[in-house]
Amino acid sequence: MSDFSRRVEAIDISGIRKVFEAASEDAINLGLGQPDFPTPEHARQGAIDAIEAGQADGYTSNKGTASLRAAIAEKHGRDNAFTASPEDVIATSGGSEALHLAIEAHVDEGEEVLFPDPGFVSYDALTKLAGGTPVGLPLRDDLTLDPATVEEYITEDTAAFIVNSPANPTGAVSPPEDMREFARIAAEHDVLCISDEVYEHIVFEGEHRSPRAYDDAGNVVVVNACSKTYSMTGWRLGWVTGDSERVERMLRVHQYAQACASAPAQYAAEAALTGPQDPVDEMVAAFEERRDVLLDGLEDMGLDVPTPKGAFYAMPEVPDGWVDAVLDRGVVVVPGGAFGERGEGYARISYATSMENIEAAIEAMREATAAVR
Ligand code: PLP
């Protein structure tokens, strides 16, 4: 058999998937990064209507339908206090493809990409696939990324840094003043800031601000998706927006790798974005209730856990052998090391599951904690 590329040999299947494979079928899964709610009815209907009208059979424009891009542009004005022209939006196959476009279009061989460690698994892998050098950044005690750390790690080889708030795997939410600082740093050091905002609506304390709202230099690119906000992970619909020239470069990659995002998903996304937003509020309220129960449980068993202010993950520090001891008791959580070397000694617990599962999982964790201490 002929050789594989050096770039693909540099990456591995995600550590998260390995945990799932080790779990039995009837395990309680607190490892999943997706909401356990149905996609809102009006979003589904948007796709159904488009399919029935024969509108979703063909390619759309590479960037996506004009009406979806208009809905996304309007959403940014409404929710994020920045103006995006519909021309400067590319609908993508989930936030994953949006991250891929942002990194591929901006990172040269050997250039560095800085991102939170622990951080979302794709940052490291996509950087390597682009031939770049991943650089994980240490976090504050509350697991937020300190702008001063970003500034400290920037070198002449840095092409980009990634900000993710609310964050996977930590649930940390960066305050508005930090988001302003990230935009300033991108401008002053003339590097790209990729802001991954896929959890923007899942905030319990504090508020989400986009660094793009402070971006006078055109050095912030925003990645977002319907996946988490509207419980649409299976639809594969996200987007990327930023300065026109950057969008044109990202479109070059998108055009050849993807042509366009799935047409039915684009119609569902448009309906999700323009329709009633109550399903989002209801989901966020449920996540907050579950978070509180989980936090009480973890604190009660003596684990140290920074209060997650958003997303649907908690990241306690755990004793050696804890993740396996929990797995032995039928509950799946992800070892923190799957998210970067500084995640070692932590575990990511997703509470995007029923309260019943959370309560049963707490009991298993309590036993596991007692067993490994
Ligand atoms: N960014 C973060 C921080 C995520 O946690 C995820 C998914 O888990 C993504 C991006 C990718 O989302 P999507 O399912 O839209 O590709």
Q: Is residue 301 part of a domain?
A: yes
Together in a domain, 147 and 85: yes
Q: Which two tokens stand for residue 6?
A: 């050096």
**What DSSP designation does 58 have?**
S
Query: In angstroms, what is the span from residue 372 Cα to ligand 1's centroid?
Result: 32
Centre of ligand 1 from the C-alpha of residue 82, in Å: 22
Q: What's the burial of 326, exposed, middle or buried (CB within 10 Å: 0-12/13-18/19+)?
A: buried
Q: Distance (Å, rounded) from C-alpha 91 to C-alpha 215?
A: 21
What is the predicted pLDDT for the residue at 18?
75
Residue 337 lies in a domain: yes
CATH of the domain at 313: 3.90.1150.10
In a domain, 1, yes or no: no
Query: Residue 279: CB within 6 Å of ligand 1?
Result: no
| CATH code, domain with 205 | 3.40.640.10
In a domain, 342, yes or no: yes
Any domain includes 312: yes
Confidence of residue 13 (pLDDT cuts 50, 70, 90): confident
Do 283 and 306 sit in the same domain of this protein? yes
* Residue 271, Ramachandran bin (φ over 0: left; ψ between -120 and 50: alpha; else beta): alpha
Same domain, 113 and 162: yes
Would you give the end-to-end CA distance of the chain in angstroms? 49
Q: Is the CB of 95 under 6 A from ligand 1?
A: yes
Ligand 1 center to residue 120 CA distance, Å?
8
Query: Is any atom of ligand 1 closer than 6 Å to the C-beta of 196?
Result: yes
pLDDT of 244 reads: 98
Whether residues 310 and 237 fall in one domain: no
Task: Tell me how many domains the chain contains.
Answer: 2
Burial zone of 179 (CB within 10 Å; 0-12 exposed, 13-18 middle, 19+ buried): buried
pLDDT tens-place string over residues 50-92: 999 999 999 999 999 999 999 999 999 999 999 999 999 999 9
Q: Is the peptide bond before 306 cis (omega within 30 degrees of 0)?
A: no
Per-residue pLDDT at 122: 97
| Residue tagged 């990409």 (tokens) | 113
Give distance in angstroms: CA of 373 to centre of ligand 1: 34
One domain for residues 237 and 297: no
Quick check: CB of 39 below 6 Å from ligand 1?
no
The answer to the question of residue 56 being in a domain is yes
- d(CA 329, CA 360) in angstroms, rounded, equals 10
Residue 373 clears pLDDT 90, i.e. is over it: no
Q: How far apart are CA 287 and CA 296, in angstroms?
A: 14
Asked whether the predicted pLDDT for residue 20 surpasses 80, the reply is no
364 falls in which pLDDT band (50, 70, 90)? Answer: very high
**Ligand 1 atom nearest to 238, measured from its CA:** 15
Do 34 and 45 sit in the same domain of this protein?
Answer: no
**Distance (Å, whole) CA 39 – CA 230:** 6
Q: Which atom of ligand 1 is nearest to the CA of 311?
A: 5
Is 189 found in the same domain as 129? yes
Report CA(370)–ligand 1 centroid distance (Å): 34
Residue with the smallest CA separation from ligand 1 atom 8 is 33
Q: Same structural domain for residues 263 and 310?
A: no
> Domain check: are 50 and 92 in the same one?
yes
What is the per-residue pLDDT for 350?
A: 97
For residue 16, the CA-to-ligand 1 centroid distance in Å is 13
3-state secondary structure of 106: helix
Are 107 and 132 contained in the same domain?
A: yes
pLDDT in tens, 325-350: 999 999 999 999 999 999 999 999 99
Q: Which residues, 6+ apart, have CB-to-CB distance to 225 below 8 Å?
A: 92, 94, 95, 98, 198, 232, 237, 238, 239
Q: How far apart are CA 135 and CA 103, in angstroms?
A: 14
Residue 111 domain boundaries: 41-274
Check whether residue 66 and residue 18 sit in a common domain: no
227 and 302 within one domain: no
Does any ligand 1 atom lie closer than 6 A to the CB of residue 233? Answer: yes
- pLDDT per position as a tens digit, 254-279: 999 999 999 999 999 999 999 999 99
**pLDDT for 275-313, tens place per residue?**
999 999 999 999 999 999 999 999 999 999 999 999 999
Strand 238-241 to 313-314 pairing: unpaired
In this prediction, residue 23 carries a pLDDT of: 76
Peptide bond before 335: cis, by omega within 30 degrees of 0? Answer: no
Q: Answer whether 94 contacts ligand 1 (Cβ < 6 A).
A: yes
Whether 98 is covered by a domain: the verdict is yes
